[in-house]
A and B are shown apart, each in its own frame.
Chain A
Amino acid sequence: MTAEFRLRQAWTIARLQLRRVFFSKRSSWVYLLALFPSVPFFGHAIEVKLSQSRYASRVTAAAILESIREGDTDEEVLKTAGEPVHERKFRRGPRGEASVEYRNLIYFDGERRWFLHFEAGILQNKRSRPLIDFEDDRKVFAGVFQYFYLRLAVFFGCLGIFMNLFRGEILDKTLHFWFLAPARREVLLAGKYLAGLIAATLIFATGAALSFGLMLWPQDAVELSAFWRAQGPEHLFWYATAAAAGCVGYGSLFLAAGLLVRNPVVPAIVILFWEGINGILPAALQKFSVLYYVQSLAPIPPPMDANAPALIQLLMSPADPPSTVAAVCGLLAVTALVLWIASRSVQRIEINYGTD
């Protein structure tokens, strides 16, 4: 039996398994996890687009808005700047004469929204903010990607896909069909891992790309094309790659877990905890984690409030992130180690449907 024969056999196994992974009822919620971060970005995009079209007929020149000063009266402002895009009046204080009237006006200059706050008819405060802030949105995306997508969505998605490669077939009482094939158990393991990896990578890299695309969608056309000419493609690539790398690492962990334990909850909690405290572990131990490598692949660091407690800051970002090459090599080493453990235990596994 040649190596080439075994490789082809692993590929055959992967192909047969792949259909089951994609269409298994047990893993349908994995799609939801992958789509989840797209929801807020889609919502944000729709909100921006709607506002833009609503404001389009009432644009006020930026120069006019610049010229308005604190201390101006609301009547003056309405006269020079015209009709606002939004207006709100309310009173506060005791009933009757003593209460103060407040008034908020919002103007739009084509790019920025201007917020004017009046008290008793006098402008007290003027602020402006762009309707959409590319820089900001990219930071938000980086945060969602690191704190939600990598740590939770990819994590639980891989749990759903990879734990079921063996455990699911034991529950269905179909694992013996694979064991009765003229294939070494390691080849079977490799084939199944490959199938899980293809499915998970496709689902989660697509999910990452989709939400990235939705984040970009409402942005200013000029800024956007500049972004695409500069670091844009690279960012997209690294987000997708980080998601895929997460699947490589977590996939191997959950494949092994599915062979070693019956209940998925226990390994899920243990691994989640381990990955969670990774940031405060000694440097040597940090290297035995998937997150340590994967999070350093993301193109920009996630936003971190400088006022956050030191412990949180430590937990969320490694003190000493590895270089890209080191991250890829480290991840592959961890994965190889875990797969080796899995291949040992797949040799020992017995068909025992009754008691599982």
Chain B
Amino acid sequence: MSAPEIVFQEVSKFYGEVLGVNHVTLRIPSGITSLVGPNGSGKTTLMNLMAGLIHPDRGVITVRGLSPRDPERLMRITGYATQYDAAPRGVTGLDFVTTGLLLAGHGKQEASRRAWKSLERVGMNEAAHRKVAAYSKGMRQRVRLAVALAHDPEVLILDEPLNGLDPLVRAETIALFHEFAAQGRHVVLSSHVLQEVDVISDRVILIANGMIIAEGHVRGVREEIHEHPSQYIIRCRDASRIAALLFEQDHITQVQVHEDRLGLLVATRNQREFSRALTRISLAGHTVESVVAADENVDALYKYLIGGGR
């Protein structure tokens, strides 16, 4: 077998009529991979698919060569901290982690030894004997991480693992991810905000409306976003003259003059260069009345993804 990967081939998942994810094809090598996208974009859907909690309507998924339909083997090498903030009634943190290990087939002593170790790793050993229901949000987040870590999995899937963590704990948690990744394991995590994860991730997968819109190393993804063609409608006096000036720029991919000669539709690959060019044109004495993004939604989405959106 080649290098262990998580592979999605043409995977689609619908919840009845509602689209979960559509035509997803991905190869995720080991290391830290972040799924980034706004609410409802399909991050949790992808993770649930990987862990076999839901099944695809179309396409094939394998996790290090194993099918998510075979939990007996898959879950031996996989730990998944879900976004569901629930724990069985009345259990303590220690019980919670131990239970998972007992289910995995460890004896009582081994299970509690490992549970302690795992709770220590996430800095929760002091609260181990308290009820999970009485934990704070961040503590519940950490104890779920401890459950996912406890059996030392090869593949760690974490749905918004940094949510609700204070800066210190966050730094420790991130260190933990690096430690895992350095051992050739998979760490797949999700976030709403690219800035939160871009420096810590080996690769980033941007997802919106159930589709992968960019993936790769962080820098590559940033460039891909900058180069995503956006369209603008410009209202001005001498449309043809401005069209000619704009067309000289190499980031401009398309210029169309409106019939009334008072408007232009422009597509650019680089928004920053485009706004500089507009400034130069105005300074040169041409009147630009207004600039509006032609496709507000797509534009807003990309702005959101590259940062600032929170």
Binding site for B on A (CB under 8 A): 1, 5, 8-9, 12-13, 16, 20, 23-24, 172-174, 176-185, 187, 347-348, 350-353, 355
Contacts and interface: CB of A to CB of B under 8 A. Distances in A.
Nearest to B79: A180
Interface residues of B, number: 31
Given A179-B53, A181-B71, A351-B54, A16 B82 contact: no
Interface in B99-114: 99-100, 102-105
12 contacts: A173-B86, A174-B86, A176-B84, A177-B100, A180-B71, A180-B75, A180-B82, A182-B74, A182-B105, A184-B72, A350-B53, A350-B54
B89 A182 contact: no
A16 B99 CA distance: 8
A183 B103 contact: yes
Contact of A172 (B69, B72, B88, B147): B88
B102 A12 contact: yes
Contacts, number: 79
Most chain A beta carbons < 10 A, residue from B51, B55, B88: B88
Given A16-B103, A351-B53, 13 more contacts: A5-B105, A12-B103, A12-B105, A173-B84, A176-B53, A177-B99, A182-B71, A182-B75, A182-B104, A350-B54, A351-B48, A352-B54, A353-B84
Contacts of A16: 99, 102-103
Interface of B: 15, 48, 51-55, 69-76, 78, 80, 82, 84, 86-90, 99-100, 102-105, 147
Contact of B80 (A24, A180, A350): A180
B103 A181 contact: yes
Contact of A183 (B15, B71, B84, B90): B71
Contacts of A182: 71-76, 103-105
Contact of A13 (B78, B103, B147): B103
Nearest to B153: A182
Most chain A beta carbons < 10 A, residue from B78, B86, B87, B99: B86
B115 to A, nearest CB: 14
A176 B82 contact: yes
Contact of B71 (A174, A185, A348): A185
